[in-house]
């Protein structure tokens, strides 16, 4: 994508909570119109970063510019142009769906007539018109999340911040949210999205950073990161540890990287079928027994694994358990 105007510029940005450095000298730029992702497991520092961007939490050190202005000096102007979807649901449970939007519009001093028009538009866009008069308490998790996203649009934001927008949703509700977010992106809204769903990051983000313990491990487009670190395919082999080196040698120049995960040796490559054939015949001639063999496409999880040696343990994956709508 073409590089446009900077919407967020962080330079040596630090966030400390007493002795704990949650964000450790972050440098990044988010450009207008892109969906920029912060991907990392719980505790990586994602929320700490976004809370500084929307002025909820003060910067400890370094600089943070949003819309070209320092957040410390222009917090109020910046907030007026941002929509925030927080991680926790903070809708008013005692109000109707429609009134939640109206009350929120009041915080931006939007006049009543405009607020009503915008609320109706938003409900239509989020496919919630039929729920306009329902109390929030009566909504499923997926509908509440759609309302929270809709609410964040009431001030027609230029930047939408989404802190784990689909955590806890079932796959169907998650896909509906993704659809809406793609539409918003098409409409030109810049998005800053945190997630610990690798699939979500691949689906939505133009560029992302992988955050690990407050530091950037990598930055790039999802496919670029996959290509850079692991290539297009992974060959998973069930093989005894003492025989790994034989197979790695056999893989030779076809091997881009490898990783050992429990009993499985993972060979990363751009030539999956050729490598599989080579390994299968090699195993036979070397007398190496393979208890399992599986060729699959690579994904961001492989990149994370390669970079950290860890898996996304807390990541339930795209089809993980969730609330049903």
Ligand X SMILES: Nc1ncnc2c1ncn2[C@@H]1O[C@H](COP(=O)(O)OP(=O)(O)OP(=O)(O)O)[C@@H](O)[C@H]1O
Work out how close the CB of 55 gets to ligand X at its nearest, in angstroms, rounded to a whole number.
Answer: 15
Closest distance of CB 17 from ligand X, Å: 3
Of 210, 114, 197, nearest in space to 162 by CA: 197
Rounded to 5 degrees, what angle do the CA atoms 220, 51, 140 make? 90
Q: Which is nearer to ligand X, 253 or 314 (CB)?
A: 314
Strand partners, 83: 160
Nearer to ligand X, 20 or 187 (CB): 20
**Interface residue list for ligand X (CB under 6 A):** 17, 20, 22, 40, 42-48, 196
The smaller minimum CB distance to ligand X, of residues 22 and 159, is found at 22
Per-residue tokens: 313: 């343990």
Smallest distance, Å, CB 57 to ligand X? 8
* DSSP track, 85-143: E-SS----TTSBHHHHHHHHHHHTT--HHHHHHHHHHHHHHTT-GGGTTSBGGGS-HHH
> Which token pair is 119?
């609320």
Tell me the two tokens of residue 309: 């040696």
Task: Write down the least CB distance from residue 161 to ligand X, Å.
Answer: 12
CB of 209 to ligand X, least distance (A): 12
Computed from CA positions of residues 231, 216, 321, 263, in that sequence, does the dihedral angle turn out positive or negative? positive
Q: Which residue's CB is nearer to ligand X, number 33 or number 214?
A: 214
Beta-strand relationship, 215-220 and 61-66: unpaired
Which of 56/74 has CB closer to ligand X?
A: 56
Q: Which is nearer to ligand X, 22 or 136 (CB)?
A: 22
């Amino acid at each position: 994508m073409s590089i446009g105007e900077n919407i967020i510029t962080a330079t040596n940005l630090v966030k400390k909570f007493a002795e704990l450095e949650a964000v450790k000298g972050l440098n990044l730029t988010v450009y207008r119109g892109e969906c920029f992702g912060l991907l990392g497991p719980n505790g990586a520092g994602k929320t700490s970063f976004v809370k500084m961007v929307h002025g909820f939490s003060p910067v400890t050190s370094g600089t943070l510019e949003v819309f070209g202005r320092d957040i410390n000096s222009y917090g109020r102007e910046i907030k007026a142009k941002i929509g925030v979807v927080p991680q926790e649901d903070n809708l008013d449970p005692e109000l109707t769906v429609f009134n939640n939007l109206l009350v929120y519009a009041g915080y931006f001093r939007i006049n009543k007539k405009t607020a009503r028009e915008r609320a109706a538009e938003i409900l239509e866009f989020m496919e919630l018109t039929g729920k306009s008069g329902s109390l929030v308490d009566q909504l499923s998790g997926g509908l509440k999340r759609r309302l929270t996203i809709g609410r964040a649009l009431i001030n027609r934001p230029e930047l939408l911040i989404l802190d784990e927008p689909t955590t806890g949703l079932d796959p169907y509700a998650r896909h509906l949210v993704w659809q809406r977010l793609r539409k918003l992106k098409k409409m030109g809204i810049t998005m800053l999205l945190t997630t610990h769903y690798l699939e979500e990051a691949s689906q939505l983000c133009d560029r992302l950073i992988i955050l690990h313990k407050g530091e950037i491990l990598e930055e790039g487009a999802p496919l670029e990161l996959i290509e850079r670190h692991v290539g297009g395919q992974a060959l998973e082999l069930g093989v005894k540890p003492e025989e790994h080196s034989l197979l790695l040698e056999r893989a030779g120049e076809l091997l881009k990287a490898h990783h050992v995960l429990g009993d499985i040796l993972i060979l990363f490559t751009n030539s999956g079928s050729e490598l599989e054939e080579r390994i299968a015949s090699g195993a036979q001639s070397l007398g190496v027994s393979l208890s399992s063999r599986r060729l699959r496409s690579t994904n961001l999880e492989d990149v994370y694994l390669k970079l950290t040696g860890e898996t996304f343990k807390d990541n339930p994956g795209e089809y993980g358990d969730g609330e049903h709508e």
